[in-house]
Amino acid sequence: MNYKLTWFLLFFISSVTAKAQIDITQAITHAQNQTKLIIQEVGQAQTPTQPDLLLPRSLTSTNELKLIPAKDWTSGFFPGNLWFLYEYTQDPYWLTQAQSFTSLLAPEQFNTETHDVGFKIYSSYGAGYRLTQSASYRNVIIQAAKSLATRFNPKVGCIQSWDSSNKWPFPVIIDNLMNLELLFAATRLTGDSTFYRIADSHAATTLKNHFRADYSSWHVVDYDPVTGQVRQKNTHQGYSDQSAWARGQAWGLYGYTMCYRETKNPIYLIHAQRIASFILNHPRLPTDLVPYWDYDAPLIPNEPRDASAAAIMASALYELSTYSSQGSTYRAAADKIVTSLANLYTSPKGENRGFILLHSTGHKPAHSEIDAPLIYADYYYLEALLRKKETNIAPQLNGISNRTINVGQNLSFTATTSDANANQIKTYSLVNAPAGATIHSATGAFSWTPTQAGTFTFFVQVTDNGSPMLADVQAVTITVTPIPTYTLTVTTIGSGTVTKSPNQASYTSGSTVTLTATPASGFQFTGWSDDAAGTTNPLPVSMTSNKTIVAQFTAVAGQQVVSFNLINADSNQPISTITNNFVLNLVNLPDNLNIQAITNPTTVGSVVFNLSGAQVWNSTESRVPYTLFGDSGSSSNVWVPVPGNYTLTATPYSAPNGGGTAGTPLIIPFSMINSVASSALAHITAYPTPTSNGYIQVNQIIPWEGKITYILKSTTGAQLTTGEINLTEPTNTLKFDFSSQMSASGVYYLQIVTEKQKSSVVLMRL
């Protein structure tokens, strides 16, 4: 099957939607009228003999209102409808009704006997929290996620749907994808990534085992709970084990679109697009895009439709259109579906006990709710209308820099956000934050006073309250140092000595050290430089940071080294003058180098060189040219430097071999780097980041080819591992197992080098 929408379907969708656009205001007004009626019907249908029947689900075969208890899987949808109407109208009446009906589901937060706690709680309390930021609603969501997480089997990698039976020891149904949104929300609200990891595992395992080659899905996959192996693949509500149950395909489309939103895993986006292609290209999809209850039902076109599947598809397609390059196609399809539902599948005003949509199919094999209104059809229809009305755009966190502080020092900053949807509520939260760290949910004000040293990487997240809720996340690394002690480094230029009192390796913050400079014979003290200035002698130094102080001694009269030239050792030609703190990039230099001292006068008795830092070298040159590494007659000896920091000192003497009287030396610190310009780096991405186990997948739009060298480094630049890959064919994806090298939480850097490019990407480990 071709998984791109055919030209004919594109033309058909766009031409039909152009002729019959839905009036959203009119549709919402109709929904309000119907919902007010259903509220009245609920009050009349409730009886003292069945006090637990509280919420509407469907109509009976005699057109009576079918009420359900809070434990029914559909119980959260009617409160969700009320929240949608409040969101659209801001009418206090709908707020009061939404709060009242939502409260009926409170006991379900503790229900560990069903996977559908996600349906029940997130469509009700989740919507309520999104619109009100109620702390009590937040607590219910978190507790419900804890209840749902108890059904996760790490061996299987999934949340168990129904309880074990002789037929299915560990059944997982495609519907279960929808419950994962509750877990993702719990990680946002608590900062505990456990919920996220469970949801991601379930989505990945379902993607692997639930889908056929044409990207249709089975309804039920049964696992061995001990080994995790698949036992069988069946249906429960579809026509047959090999058929494509319409609502199941819609659950898959919606579920993987949502999973991409929450994880940004491109595999989930690709899969959602493939499911969309299966549905929209299906030869038995009717022209109004409202599917039959099963795409393989034997009596099509004389089979019942399922408006609930269509409503789910529309809502999912509106969201998918914001992530996909085929966005206009998906939006046109969604427009066509909601137009069809509004014009052909809605109940007349005042009829059908207040339900909005007709012609859904609940469970045809069980002869239940066939060609009937269903409360969840109304829910996803209203959600689709809201998504059509306004496209939500994710907020963007403005840059938050990494920080270094001391133990016991308070760190405060305020996270700020840019958002095209200016009227939405923004909620800030932390994920994997260190103990004691807090962020104000409304203002983004962060505060933390660390009690121990270390490096702490966590995530600042901002979430809006649009439909769907969208978020942005940024990693922040805080380096906490012990209560500070500082070093004092004293060097000299010229001949002389400096004493420190007290003379210690380090000093506590705020202490005072006295420096006394004593010139050698023939020299005079001329002043302090670097972290001190002036000529005060002795000099009191307050230790508030690491300091380097240079004492300068000048020969009363005599010879001097005036400058250093970096030269090409192959041609003996000067490249540049090395000045104080000069930075040289090895990428731009010849391989073979040397350094020449320029003296005054031009010829002196000798020059004594001392190179320290990344490489150490001492030499004495008694003839022109005076070069650090000497020369062999007509050509300079070769120096191949390594990246790092250096200090070069050259002192002239009146006699050969460092004899006679010393003149004025020259001391110059400089650095060597090896850096390729960022514009030359190819853009690559890594997933997942953060990773929980060190397994990384790296993606690049332009395929890699041939021999690849990879290097993993720490934040200090230390090389953790390196290796080579010889590709036999081009690939856009590379997979690495850095579980050993990335065993600690934090930030790492991966460099990938080929003959044509050098690429880098930041990795994070939870």
As a dihedral over the C-alpha atoms of residue 259, residue 265, residue 267, residue 270, rounded to 10 degrees, the angle is 70
- Check: CB of residue 295 under 8 Å from CB of residue 284: yes
- Check: CB of residue 651 under 8 Å from CB of residue 629: no
Cα 225 versus chain centre, distance: 32
- Helix count and strand count (H, E) for the chain: 14, 43
From 23, 91, 163, 175, the catalytic residue: 175
As a whole number of angstroms, the distance between CA 377 and CA 309 comes to 7
Per DSSP, the residues of 591-604 read SSEEEEEEEESS--
Whole-angstrom CA distances from 272 to 158, 266, 322 are 19, 10, 13
As a whole number of angstroms, the distance between CA 431 and CA 184 comes to 12
Which of 221, 234, 248, 244 has its CA nearest to residue 297? Answer: 244
- Residue 52 annotated as binding? no
- Residue 754 annotated as binding? no
Confirm whether 116 is a catalytic residue.
Answer: yes
- The three-state secondary structure class of 57 is strand
Determine how many CB atoms are found less than 10 A away from the CB of residue 289: 25
From 72, 116, 306, 335, the catalytic residue: 116
**Tokens linked to 748:** 């790492």
Confirm whether 163 is a catalytic residue.
Answer: no
As a whole number of angstroms, the distance between CA 394 and CA 415 comes to 16
As a whole number of angstroms, the distance between CA 121 and CA 71 comes to 11
Which of 416, 427, 428 has its CA nearest to residue 459? Answer: 428
- Residue 306 annotated as binding? no
**Tokens linked to 466:** 């649009």
- Residue 188 annotated as binding? no
Q: What is the per-residue burial (b if ≥16 Cβ within 10 Å, else e) of 174-206? A: bbbbbbbbbbbbbbbbbbbbbbbbbbbbbbbbb
- Residue 175 annotated as binding? yes
Q: Which H helix or E strand runs over 564? A: strand 560-568
Q: Which H helix or E strand runs over 185? A: helix 180-190
**DSSP-derived pairing of the beta strands 574-578 and 560-568:** antiparallel
Which of 62, 46, 54, 37 has its CA nearest to residue 108? Answer: 54
**Tokens linked to 406:** 């001391």
As a whole number of angstroms, the distance between CA 427 and CA 450 comes to 24
Residues with a catalytic annotation lie at: 116, 175
Binding-site residues from annotation: 116, 175, 235, 247, 251
List binding-site positions for substrate: 116, 175, 235, 247, 251
